Amino acid sequence: METVRNGKYPQKWQDRFTFFDAHGAPSTPAFKEALKAAPGNTQRTIRFNWLAFFFGPIYFFILGLWRKALVGIGLTLVLLVVDAILMGVLGPDSGLARGLSRGLGIALSLLYGLVANYAYYLKEIKERDSWNIFEGLR
């Protein structure tokens, strides 16, 4: 944990890393209980990353999470193919097709926002940089 306290990271990242060190992965019961007990602002800071939500793979590349960014891009491409097929079947003017397209886009953005903090913690503190974009996700 000395790496976190040496000033290499902004305070927001130090707080996130300390929380993950103390309570484990977001999928663990200890993490969930500690997050419930934390103040609302801390909950939002630990749980979600807005820059990752809005900028997705670009932000992952900036953080050095290039493996997870490539997996995310691959997942996006697969979902774009599924979306194109649905558009072809339902028709581009279909409200259902447009709704599904928006839903897929929002789901991908949520995925990036939810996994960014723990993925960066694993890379920087635990020195684990895997291809699994879902690692530690609850």
69-128 per-position pLDDT tens digit? 999 999 999 999 988 998 888 887 888 888 888 999 999 999 999 999 999 999 999 998
User: Is residue 130 included in any domain, yes or no?
Assistant: no
pLDDT of 1 strictly over 60:
no
Per-residue model confidence as pLDDT tens digits over 15-39: 999 999 999 999 899 999 999 999 8
User: Is residue 46 included in any domain, yes or no?
Assistant: yes
- How many domains does the chain fold into? 1
Residue 129: partners with Cβ closer than 8 Å, 6 or more residues away: 64, 65, 67, 122, 123
CB-based contact 134:115 (threshold 8 Å): yes
Residue 123: partners with Cβ closer than 8 Å, 6 or more residues away: 63, 64, 65, 129
Range of the domain at 97: 2-124
Q: What is the pLDDT at residue 100?
A: 86
Q: Write the CA distances from 3 to 7, 85, 123, integer angstroms.
A: 8, 48, 13
CB-based contact 84:27 (threshold 8 Å): no
In the block, residue with structure tokens 């097929």: 85
User: Is residue 72 included in any domain, yes or no?
Assistant: yes
d(CA 124, CA 104): 30
Q: What angle do CA 121, 122, 124 make, to 5 degrees?
A: 65
Q: What are phi and psi of 26, to 5 degrees?
A: -60, -20
User: Is residue 116 included in any domain, yes or no?
Assistant: yes
d(CA 47, CA 82): 29
User: Is residue 132 included in any domain, yes or no?
Assistant: no
Tokens of residue 79, six digits: 């979902």
pLDDT of 7 strictly over 60:
yes
User: Is residue 26 included in any domain, yes or no?
Assistant: yes
User: Is residue 14 included in any domain, yes or no?
Assistant: yes
User: Is residue 138 included in any domain, yes or no?
Assistant: no
Q: What's the predicted TM-score (pTM) here?
A: 0.86
